[in-house]
Amino acid sequence: MTRARVLLLNAAIGPLDYRVDREHAVEPGSIVLAPLGPRQLAGVVWEADRLPSDAEVGDNRLRPLAGVYDLPPLGAPLRRLIEWTADYYLASPASVLRMALASASALDGGRTTVEYRATGAMPDRLTPQRAQALERIGERQGLVRELAMIADVSDAVIRGLVKLGAIEAVEVRMDDPFIAPDPDHAAPALSPEQRAAADTFMAAVRDGGAAPFLLDGVTGSGKTEVYFEAVAEAIRQNRQTLVLLPEIALTEPFLKRFAARFGHQPVAWHSDLRQSQRRRAWRAIVSGEAKVVVGARSALFLPYARLGLIVVDEAHESSFKQEDGVMYHARDVAVMRGRFEGVPVILASATPAIETRQQVALGHYTEVKLPSRFGGATMPDIAALNLLADPPLRGRWLAPSLVRALEETLERKEQSLLFLNRRGYAPLTLCRTCGHRFQCPNCTAWMVEHRLTARLACHHCGHVMPPPAACPECGETDSLVPCGPGVERIADEVGALFPEARTAIVTSDTLWSPAKSAEFVNRMEAGEIDIVIGTQLVTKGYHFPNLTLVGVVDADLGLSGGDLRAAERSFQQIAQVAGRAGRGAKPGRVLVQTREPDAPVIRALVSGDADGFYAAETEARRHANAPPFGRFAALIISSENLDDAVNTARAIGRAAPEVEGMSVYGPAPAPLAMLRGRHRQRLLVHARRTLDVQDVIREWLGAVDWPKSVRVAVDVDPYSFV
Ligand code: ADP
Ligand code: ZN
């Protein structure tokens, strides 16, 4: 008989001991089912020991395990990664384990499930809800709950449509095998520069062993083609590859491109998967059948059977940082996973983060460079457009010279992209008569007008309301005015300027599913769009050879926030969006609208002096002891009750330990003082690099009590300071 220490999928409790009866064989990593109170919960054996013969009485009281799943045990490297992540980000190991097990339904051996899809038949009584459901569902298929979510209607509406014959049940097999990609399907002829980079990665894959790389190549240099060679090598070695992308929206074009190179699609992993797809993917990952997995950051913790390579594409993207639950940075955890698993990790970027460059400078990561665009394409010409000298007409946002450039591009039948990182029509709506501003009732944030959907929406909590006909404050009708531009307003302006141009708005509102983003890519490639107006969603990954003009509507926008990475992020964002221009045979040009043409960021972009900019930024960080030279951790104290939040924050502030090399700032109300109905207070810990700040915080918070209504979150290496 043995005793097993089991980590259960319950974040509130630590590991518990269970008795293992003879019929169950377990080892560390075994996935088991264990009783907890009246329920049974999945968990993973963390330690298993033979019970000593002189077992204490206590051992007899241990409850027996309820079962062992017929699945391979989680490997030691993954278990170490889970421990490390929990420790580093001050999270419970169970909440990290949850990301590895991912889907309770995947653990069971069921092979089929019943899903639903539209039959094409229209019911006689088409209520608005039913019409909306059928329209949104389109070709999609899923559980009743999944379809209800997609359609934004209740389950009952879907069930009603089933009764009416407009939606039907279909049996889905969940164990269909994935076809392995073929490493030699359509390998491109690489340029000598690309060949050298690819050889380095292929050797690292063959040799195995931990090896972090920075693949630093300008936009359009062929970074993807190059790391595909490493992926091909991993496939030949019968090892699995994980490719992490910063946005789900990029998955679909990636799948297409991958299939063109390897003959078959890789396995996709993201939050938009149906339960049956998730289950099928998870089991293929665990068995090793899934040779290549492409996913959002949550794919990082999955139990790959034979991991051989990790790629983090667009590695500088801050969307790799998770901002709720376990607040981890997928780029950094990917490097740790590579270390534990003993496999190479490739961080690919045209604008690497200062943190990553610093790892190169310290000799921890190997840098591989691709300094020029593939196929003789030239880097686009970037010019600043001084809004003070060349202002847009009243009530307009595009300066006359940008309008002229759009016109020329249209005449040449080429495509343009206008970039503005603001969704909706206008970021603020106010009453002309009394000055009332529409604020979210749950958040410290303005309601953003969305004309496409005729709503005001809060971008923080999702609260929506119809735009009122009259001001709720003074009752005046027709007095509401939009302030400032969002992408929809720019699209209106473009429509007024060029009524014949075909435009597309690209934001998370319009590309809300992989299918929508695939549709956008197809329309762009088919030349059905002349002018794209988009948010940061269009800054990454896409390759449209006929896109030759990029206009940055407001380059100063990103600089206002004032957080420590504001300048770096602005530089990256504009360099990335500029990188969409002129990727094919035709040269591209970029016009950057700004009120501060002399700001260092703008000057660096215009002169192409990225190195100079980075050097100055890095020096500034060193001087301020900011990351990567010093480190931060944020404590966010929130409660629906303002007094509880304030009092707890003060108690935590008073209990702050005096530690050499560490300062504590605050508490103070967070810039987002209210979020989703919770009042928020922040403390900021600033420490020297080498201090074990997690240990200090653990002990510090361990000594403070707070009411149940209060949540205290610790954000280690924070990227958001709101
Ligand atoms: P990056 O990821 O660095 O921006 P990509 O890998 O997307 O660059 O390459 C840019 C374009 O050039 C893509 O259309 C890609 O298919 C093409 N390309 C790059 N290298 C080659 C090559 N060796 N042979 C053929 N096409 C290539
Ligand atoms: Zn809100």
Using alpha carbons, select from 555, 503, 509 the residue that is nearest to residue 533.
Answer: 503
Q: Residue of the nearest CA to atom 10 in ligand 1? A: 220
Ligand that lies nearest to the alpha carbon of residue 190, given by its number in the listed order: 1
Alpha helices in 498-536 (DSSP H): 514-525
For 277-302, the pLDDT digits (tens) are 888 999 999 999 999 999 999 899 99
Residue type, 611: D
What is the predicted pLDDT for the residue at 487? Answer: 97
Q: What is the Cα 433 distance to its own chain's centre? A: 41
Q: How far is the CA of 508 from the centre of ligand 1 (A)?
A: 26
Return the best residue to mutate from 194, 374, 524 for the ligand 1 pocket (most ligand atoms within 8 A of CB): 374
Residue 117 to residues 114, 125, 162, 165, 368, Cα–Cα distance (Å): 10, 19, 9, 10, 48
Residue entry with tokens 């997690």: 694
Would the CATH topology of 192-375 be identical to that of 377-422+485-618? yes
Full 3-state SS string of 19-54: EECCCCCCCCCCEEEEEECCEEEEEEEEEEEECCCC
Residue 651 to residues 63, 637, 648, 700, 707, Cα–Cα distance (Å): 40, 11, 5, 11, 12
Using alpha carbons, select from 269, 302, 283 the residue that is nearest to residue 108.
Answer: 283
Q: Residue of the nearest CA to atom 23 in ligand 1? A: 190
Please state the atom number of ligand 1 nearest to the C-alpha of residue 219: 4
What is the predicted pLDDT for the residue at 239? Answer: 98
Please state the atom number of ligand 1 nearest to the C-alpha of residue 190: 23
Given a cut of 70, the residues of the chain with pLDDT beneath it are: 1, 50-60, 109-110, 561-562
Using alpha carbons, select from 97, 209, 118, 212 the residue that is nearest to residue 161.
Answer: 118
What is the predicted pLDDT for the residue at 57? Answer: 46
Q: Which residues pair with 125 in a beta bridge?
A: none
CATH of domain 192-375: 3.40.50.300
Q: How far is the CA of 43 from the centre of ligand 1 (A)?
A: 44
Ligand that lies nearest to the alpha carbon of residue 192, given by its number in the listed order: 1
Ligand that lies nearest to the alpha carbon of residue 677, given by its number in the listed order: 2
Please state the atom number of ligand 1 nearest to the C-alpha of residue 313: 2
What is the predicted pLDDT for the residue at 176? Answer: 79
Residue 468 to residues 430, 452, 455, 478, Cα–Cα distance (Å): 11, 16, 9, 9
Report residue 433: phi and psi, to 5°. -80, -50
- CATH 3.40.50 is the classification of domain 112-173: no
Q: How far is the CA of 540 from the centre of ligand 1 (A)?
A: 14
For 671-707, the pLDDT digits (tens) are 999 999 999 999 999 999 999 999 999 999 999 999 9
Q: Which pTM was predicted?
A: 0.91
Superfamily grouping for domain 3-107: PriA, 3(prime) DNA-binding domain (3.40.1440.60)
Q: Which residues line ligand 1 (CB under 6 A)?
A: 188-191, 194, 217, 219-225, 374, 543
DSSP state of 92: -
Strands 464-465, 455-457: pairing kind: antiparallel
Q: Token digits for 552?
A: 């940055």
Count Cα neighbours of 245 within 13 Å in the Cβ-side half-sphere.
22
b/e map 94-107, b = 16+ CB within 10 Å: bbbbbbbbbeeebb
Please state the atom number of ligand 1 nearest to the C-alpha of residue 217: 3
Q: How far is the CA of 462 from the centre of ligand 2 (A)?
A: 6
What is the predicted pLDDT for the residue at 1? Answer: 64
Return the best residue to mutate from 199, 216, 225 for the ligand 1 pocket (most ligand atoms within 8 A of CB): 225
- Residue 306 contacts residue 288 (beta carbons within 8 Å): yes
Return the best residue to mutate from 190, 201, 214, 224 for the ligand 1 pocket (most ligand atoms within 8 A of CB): 224
Ligand that lies nearest to the alpha carbon of residue 446, given by its number in the listed order: 2
Q: Is 576 exposed, middle or buried (0-12, 13-18, 19+ CB in 10 A)?
A: buried
Q: Which residues pair with 714 in a beta bridge?
A: 635
What is the predicted pLDDT for the residue at 56? Answer: 55
CATH of domain 377-422+485-618: 3.40.50.300
Superfamily grouping for domain 630-716: Ribosomal protein S10 (3.30.70.600)
In the chain, where the domains are located:
3-107, 112-173, 192-375, 377-422+485-618, 630-716
What is the predicted pLDDT for the residue at 58? Answer: 62
Ligand that lies nearest to the alpha carbon of residue 439, given by its number in the listed order: 2
